[in-house]
Structure 1
Amino acid sequence: MKFPDKKLLHKAVFAAIICITFFLSVKVFAQNGIYQLNNKNGSYCYISFMKKGNQAEAEIFAWWNTPSAQTGSYYGSGTLISNKVRLKSNENESDCEVTLSLEQKKLCVSFDNCTVDHLPEDFNGSYTKITNATAGDYTVFAAKSYFHKEPNAASKLNSYVVKGNKVALKLDRIEAGNWVYVYYTDPKGKETEGYILLTDLRKLEI
């Protein structure tokens, strides 16, 4: 009986491990992104969700659509158990309980005792992922990336950022797809804002 070459066998095993690792990493990053809930009264809520291993963190912004322009916000993190996490926050009321459950491309969200943080049960429900972007700081990866007035190529402005510049993506203005609204502050303190292609940016690791 002829046994397979050990070197070839080792290469095959190594290739299999690489494929499995790649598949798992794609699955993880596919869950990362911003999720949205729209209510019939015009109010909405965005959740920026990031998962790394069994650790998850989320930043939440809610718009009440009221004359007073009331908003709600929350930031917390926690450990995922069976695709479910109860967030803990050092910035919000301790009585506020936020529970997230991962369901394929959906995020099932529950707010309990969060009225002080302006996140009532009106914002409970199933959230749909609208972009792979997550809130936070990004570095410009493209050699030059122009700002746009609207999320389309036809509205290009004269202002731009270059490779290595740092921009911030906030939850107060989110678009579905590959366009993100970002803020850039130059060394003199002047701020420029507008839409940029997400593919021109890379998320900064904390």
Structure 2
Amino acid sequence: MKYLFILFFLFCSEKTFSQSATYKLTNKQDGTSSNISIRRTDDQVEVNVIANWNNKARTYGQFTGKGTITDNKATIRTEKKSQPCKVILTFLKDSLSADFQDCENDQLPANFSGIYTKIDDNVTGEYIVSADICYFYSKPDEKSRKKGFAYTPEVLNIEELLEGNWGFATFMSEGKHLFGYVKLSDLKFKRTYLFD
């Protein structure tokens, strides 16, 4: 009986340590930050990284890729042979260890490596408006509502997730181009950016 319990615990912990989620790292010394969204299906992962350099040039780094989880680790490489970026992810209980190697061409130097804290169970990608109206905001708060909005069943691109049920979205339809913060509670997940 004891062995059945141990096997059950190991099976559950494997699932717990590597679920779909978004993780964040903030470097307090220089104000840089990075989000990693991971969508997991069985042992396959789709990864989207967006890093903010917090500089006057508004430099951002971005990386997307797919990989396989083995022993709570996944190694994702760029498909471009001229830019050999490699990201090693280690799934921990409520966090994620990320190691960026040779990713300078993607604007992701080693200072974005570290322990990322889980901030949300949602991931970046395409979302369908599920509320009657989804308003756009200039900041991630209720007081900064813009005039722009989207209706059900229009599709928004969520490019970055933030704490507190907010995401940064872009929307284009019939000459209408909107961008800003939206409430994730007004949306339903459709698919990641890494679809075929």
Give the TM-score normalised by the residue count of structure 1. 0.77
Distance 2:107 2:133 in 1: 40
Aligned equivalent of 2:73, options 61, 84, 87 = 84
Is contact 1:77–1:89 with CA below 8 Å preserved after alignment? no
User: What one-letter code is carried by the residue in structure 2 that aligns with 1:69?
Assistant: R
Q: Percent identity?
A: 30
Aligned equivalent of 1:180, options 145, 149, 167 = 167
The superposition leaves residues 152-174 of structure 1 with CA deviations (integer Å, 9 ceiling, x where unpaired) of: 22333333211110111113xx4
Q: CA deviation at 1:91?
A: 4.9
* Number of the residue aligned with 1:49: 38
Residues 1:147 and 2:136 are matched in the alignment: yes
Higher RCO (CA 8 Å, separation ≥ 6 residues):
2
Residues 1:109 and 2:98 are matched in the alignment: yes
Q: CA deviation at 1:140?
A: 0.7
Distance 1:203 1:145 in 2: 14
Q: CA deviation at 1:204?
A: 1.1
* Number of the residue aligned with 2:177: 191
The superposition leaves residues 181-202 of structure 1 with CA deviations (integer Å, 9 ceiling, x where unpaired) of: 2111122x22112222112111
Distance 2:113 2:155 in 1: 34
Structure 1 pair 29–193 and aligned structure 2 pair: CA distance change class (3 A): farther
User: What one-letter code is carried by the residue in structure 2 that aligns with 1:111?
Assistant: F
The superposition leaves residues 61-87 of structure 1 with CA deviations (integer Å, 9 ceiling, x where unpaired) of: 222233443332211111100111001
Is contact 2:17–2:93 with CA below 8 Å preserved after alignment? no
Is contact 2:77–2:84 with CA below 8 Å preserved after alignment? no
Structure number with higher helix proportion: 1
Q: Secondary structure at the match of 1:170?
A: strand
* Number of the residue aligned with 1:202: 188
Structure number with higher strand proportion: 2
Q: Which runs of 5+ in 1 are unaligned?
A: 1-19
Distance 1:72 1:155 in 2: 27
Q: Which runs of 5+ in 2 are unaligned?
A: 1-7
Give the TM-score normalised by the residue count of structure 2. 0.80
Distance 2:81 2:24 in 1: 21
Q: Secondary structure at the match of 2:111?
A: helix
User: Which of these two proteins has the greater Rg computed from alpha carbons?
Assistant: 1
The superposition leaves residues 17-72 of structure 1 with CA deviations (integer Å, 9 ceiling, x where unpaired) of: xxx9xxx7xx6698322211111111111111111110001111222233443332
* Number of the residue aligned with 1:4: none
Aligned equivalent of 1:169, options 158, 181, 186 = 158
Structure 1 pair 142–68 and aligned structure 2 pair: CA distance change class (3 A): closer
Distance 2:135 2:70 in 1: 42
Distance 1:127 1:185 in 2: 32
